[in-house]
Structure 1
Amino acid sequence: MTPKDAEDSIESRILDAALVQFELVGFKKTTIEDVARRAGVDRVTIYRRVGSRDDLVQAVVSREVGAVLAELAKLPGRHDNAADLVADMFVTVLSRWRQHALAQRMMTLEPERVIASLTTEGSTAFTLSVAAAAAAAQQATELGLLPEIPDVMTRMEVACRVVHSFILLPDITVRFESDSEMADFARTYLLPIVAG
């Protein structure tokens, strides 16, 4: 193991421990000491590697969002048509949100913080999501699944805003009981936004 691998391993242990601790008691009640004990490191190591508790929260959230965005990046190569790709992207994002233990636990423990991170404080994550969707669309274009889209960033932002609204307000008149219902919705309503 190289020194860089060792550093990455320690940071991963810290973030894994923080994720578990956040799921148990939330962000507010978690202390650096709690995370240090769970990770098997001292407090100074956390401050040096990650930073303050707020930095730790941001690092965990960024890692979890990054994992979903990395998953989205792989989807264009798995499909042979745009409708299935758009449906898979929509289902992936919504199902990951609905099944993510930390996201759901935080909606119970600290909904105000989650709502703020998805709205007034969420521009960075949203911008990354739009960029990831645009990159997936570009990859789909290169694979022949989508036509050239001159306003791809605008279309992806509109599509991401629709997905975002389902995260913020999951069930109003449109209710999804299954992945297939989500996929049908995406094919009917999101595909025209994406493909034109």
Structure 2
Amino acid sequence: MSVRPTPNAMPDGDPSGTVQGDVAVLVGDLLSADAPDGDRDDVAEALVQAGRDMMATTGIRRLRMDDVARRAGYGRATLYRRFATRDDLVWAVVTVEVDQALRHIGARLLALPTLQDQLVEAFAGAVEHARTNRVWRRLLEVEADLLLPFLTTGGHSALDVARQLLGQLLTRAQAEGEVPDLDAAMVVEVMVRTAHSMVLTSAGPVDVDDPVALRAFARADLVEPLLGQPRTRPAEPEEPTRP
């Protein structure tokens, strides 16, 4: 039974042998690594979609399996044959959401030529996606305590996928001499933990809902220092023109 989209659904083209090709391969590998075996299950996909829709409005605590089955147009027994518990259904929803986020961010990375640009966009894109996605946004607002275990634990959790993607990007760049020898695991952990914190707590000196400010922070205060590169100075405001 498969409730996940096609693993390698990345943008068309043949960027093999390029940085963009490497990114496409990395994202494709991550999408396929945890994909379940077996034929596509349209019933399970409909049940997961119904669960997603309901979680975006009612959250997890008020999610009722009978309501999910009814919304999807199937009986209770059909639902429980696919998902024995509510947690199983929530995990399926989280898996689909993580995969969609990975595709979204991966597509953006394809257009970027350098590791620094890719790391900045991966960080900012992840924060933006988590804060604007209708399911994540609702759960973070009302039930962050219930959502956190699904985001932070398990082989296909959001944090684990982020660690794998960033770690592989850094490992590739080190092998090609693009960045100096550094502790890639520590760089990844700092970036993942910082993104996690900014998703959960928006208050602070950085406006996480401003795409420009978020990327400026990611570049000058996170990626460049972690890679041992000179910090980008913010642009000086222009003096007003006198008449």
* TM-score higher than 0.5: yes
**Length-normalised TM-score, structure 1:** 0.82
Larger radius of gyration: 2
Q: Which residue of 1 aligns with 2:39?
A: 4
- Give yes or no for the alignment of 1:110 onto 2:143: yes
Q: For residues 47 and 73 of structure 2, what CA distance do their matches in structure 1 show?
A: 8
Query: Hey, which of these two has a bigger chunk of helix by percent?
Result: 1
- Give yes or no for the alignment of 1:69 onto 2:91: no
Distance 1:50-1:132 versus aligned 2 partners, 3 A rule: farther
Q: Which residue of 1 aligns with 2:179?
A: 147
Q: Does the 8 A contact of 1:76 with 1:136 survive in 2?
A: no
Amino acid at match of 2:217: F
**Length-normalised TM-score, structure 2:** 0.68
Offset, 1:66:
2.4
The runs of 5 or more residues in structure 1 that have no matched partner are none
Offset, 1:115:
4.7
- Give yes or no for the alignment of 1:40 onto 2:70: no
Query: Once the two structures are superposed, what CA deviation does each residue of 1:48-99 show, in whole Å capped at 9, x if it has no partner?
Result: 2122111111111122122213434444432112332222112211110111
Match of 1:176 among 200, 208, 224: 208
- Give yes or no for the alignment of 1:31 onto 2:31: no
Q: Which residue of 1 aligns with 2:124?
A: 91
Distance 1:135-1:74 versus aligned 2 partners, 3 A rule: farther
Q: Does the 8 A contact of 1:72 with 1:132 survive in 2?
A: no
Amino acid at match of 1:33: D
Return the structure number with greater relative CO, CA threshold 8 A, min gap 6: 1
Amino acid at match of 2:146: R
Q: Over aligned residues, Cα RMSD in angstroms?
A: 2.5
Q: For residues 206 and 196 of structure 2, what CA distance do their matches in structure 1 show?
A: 14
Distance 1:155-1:18 versus aligned 2 partners, 3 A rule: same
Q: 37-46 vs 72-81, which deviates more?
A: 72-81
Q: 72-81 vs 26-35, which deviates more?
A: 72-81
- Give yes or no for the alignment of 1:167 onto 2:199: yes
Amino acid at match of 1:165: S
Query: Once the two structures are superposed, what CA deviation does each residue of 1:17-58 show, in whole Å capped at 9, x if it has no partner?
Result: 000011121211121111111111122222221221111111
Percent of aligned pairs sharing the same letter: 24
Distance 1:166-1:139 versus aligned 2 partners, 3 A rule: same
